[in-house]
């Protein structure tokens, strides 16, 4: 029997229409375009303004984009993994609702939450299901409505995050393409440095938690930056060493889009030319679970069959890692 590998065979994406530019943010908090651009690389981010639409809306749109472009029957999808840090609601899994709404009624679905590493972890999970031989079509969606948890009076966080979603389809491959290796890690030391304090079982919602804005994302920027730079770079470097890859062997680096300086540091550690680093943070900001698939969607036209692609991410918790994948198709 031929060895089964799990390859990405289709990509889809969606971002809301409303653009929140740095110039607009200047009217909301004490900041300016030069300061934001210099420190983050972000120029604008997309915001889902509709109060009656949640993360599921973004996810459904991205999945529908993939289904339409790949011309696949939703009934053939075996499972849906929903990578998100901002589910529509507690308990009722967002992925289950998304699967039903896109017509994937033969699939089972669930949510996966690892902050900004959610999609990276989801790639590992989706690939494992396919490689097991049990499932043929696994839809992995990364989506977050970060505007729902951002405090727009906090200039340290409101400049960073945006809303968006992307989706990929994992299918069996018999040519040795697809996911080759992974290095995934986590460390609970990060629990205090990047979090939403209230709303869980530890600090349930109350009048006081709402008044104190404890349902918004909070971070110790300097600490998170230090850990992110070190761990994303270390993980990516280890993946290259473990697979005997040189910088010449790497076709593309697909990094989590949290901060341009973190991206540059990771690329620098690998000694990669800037032309090999895929970046769209200036247009979307940090969409958390949506960053990696949005990069794939934006640059799908550059990816060629057989390309060596290195993914890297870092998220709250802390969670981080790197994945080595061989691209499986040329865009038609």
Angle at 315 between CA 225 and CA 279, to 5 degrees: 75
Report the pLDDT value the prediction gives residue 58, as an integer from 0 to 100. Answer: 98
Catalytic residue among 173, 216, 259, 286: 286
Report the pLDDT value the prediction gives residue 2, as an integer from 0 to 100. Answer: 77
Report the pLDDT value the prediction gives residue 6, as an integer from 0 to 100. Answer: 98
Q: Where are the alpha helices (DSSP H) in 18-81?
A: 22-26, 33-40, 55-70
Report the pLDDT value the prediction gives residue 187, as an integer from 0 to 100. Answer: 97
In this structure, how many other beta carbons lie within 10 angstroms of the beta carbon of residue 226?
A: 12
Residue 7 structure tokens? 């390859």
| Domains (range + CATH), the chain | 5-177 (3.40.47.10), 179-327 (3.40.47.10)
3-state secondary structure of 79: strand
Report the pLDDT value the prediction gives residue 82, as an integer from 0 to 100. Answer: 98
Spatial distance between the Cα atoms of 256 and 103, rounded to a whole number of angstroms = 30
Catalytic residue among 216, 256, 259, 308: 256
Report whether 76 contacts 99 (CB < 8 A). no
158 in catalytic set? no
286 in catalytic set? yes
Residue 41, sorted as left (phi over 0), alpha (psi -120 to 50) or beta, turns out to be: left
Report the pLDDT value the prediction gives residue 291, as an integer from 0 to 100. Answer: 98
Of the candidates 67, 20, 12, the residue with the CA atom closest to the CA atom of residue 286: 20
| CA-to-CA separations, 182 to 35, 62, 239, 302, in angstroms, rounded | 36, 25, 7, 23
**DSSP codes joined into one string, 143-182:** EEEGGGT--TT-HHHHTTB-EEEEEEEEEEESSS-EEEEE
Report the pLDDT value the prediction gives residue 332, as an integer from 0 to 100. Answer: 82
CA torsion through residues 278, 284, 286, 292, sign:
negative
Catalytic residue among 116, 216, 231, 259: 116
Report the pLDDT value the prediction gives residue 202, as an integer from 0 to 100. Answer: 95
Tally the C-alpha atoms within 13 A of residue 136's C-alpha that lie toward its C-beta: 7
32 in catalytic set? no
User: Which pLDDT tens digits describe the chain residue by residue (332 residues)?
Assistant: 479 999 999 999 999 999 999 999 999 999 999 999 999 999 999 999 999 999 999 999 999 999 999 999 999 999 999 999 999 999 999 999 999 999 999 999 999 999 999 999 999 999 999 999 999 999 999 999 999 999 999 999 999 999 999 999 999 999 999 999 999 999 999 999 999 999 999 999 999 999 999 999 999 989 999 999 999 999 999 999 999 999 999 999 999 999 999 999 999 999 999 999 999 999 999 999 999 999 999 999 999 999 999 999 999 999 999 999 999 999 98
């Amino acid at each position: 029997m031929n060895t089964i590998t799990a390859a990405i065979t289709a990509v889809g994406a969606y971002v809301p229409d409303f653009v929140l530019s740095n110039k607009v943010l200047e009217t909301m908090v004490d900041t300016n375009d030069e300061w934001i651009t210099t420190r983050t690389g972000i120029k604008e981010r997309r915001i889902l303004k509709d109060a009656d639409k949640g993360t599921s809306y973004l996810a459904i749109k991205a999945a529908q984009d993939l289904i339409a472009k790949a011309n696949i029957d939703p009934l053939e999808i075996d499972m849906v993994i929903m990578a998100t840090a901002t589910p529509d609601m507690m308990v009722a899994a967002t992925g289950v609702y998304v699967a039903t709404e896109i017509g994937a009624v033969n699939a089972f679905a669930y949510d996966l939450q690892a902050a900004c590493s959610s999609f990276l972890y989801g790639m590992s999970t989706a690939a494992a299901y396919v490689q097991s031989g049990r499932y043929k079509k696994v839809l992995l969606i990364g989506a977050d409505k970060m505007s729902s948890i951002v405090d727009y009076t906090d200039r340290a966080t409101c400049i960073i995050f945006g809303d968006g979603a992307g989706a990929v389809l994992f299918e069996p491959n018999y040519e040795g393409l697809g996911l080759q290796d992974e290095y995934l890690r986590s460390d609970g030391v990060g629990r205090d440095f990047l979090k939403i304090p209230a709303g869980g079982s530890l600090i349930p919602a109350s009048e006081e938690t709402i008044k104190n804005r404890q349902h918004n994302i909070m971070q110790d920027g300097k600490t998170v930056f230090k850990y992110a730079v070190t761990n994303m770079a270390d993980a990516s470097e280890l993946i290259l060493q473990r697979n005997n890859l040189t910088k010449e062997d790497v076709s593309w680096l697909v990094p989590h889009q949290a901060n341009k300086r973190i991206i540059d540091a990771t690329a620098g550690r690998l000694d990669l030319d800037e032309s090999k680093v895929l970046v769209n943070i200036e247009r979307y900001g940090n969409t958390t679970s949506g960053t990696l698939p949005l990069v794939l969607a934006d640059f799908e036209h550059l990816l060629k069959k057989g390309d060596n692609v290195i993914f890297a991410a870092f998220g709250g918790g802390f969670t981080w890692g790197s994945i080595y994948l061989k691209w499986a198709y040329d865009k038609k």
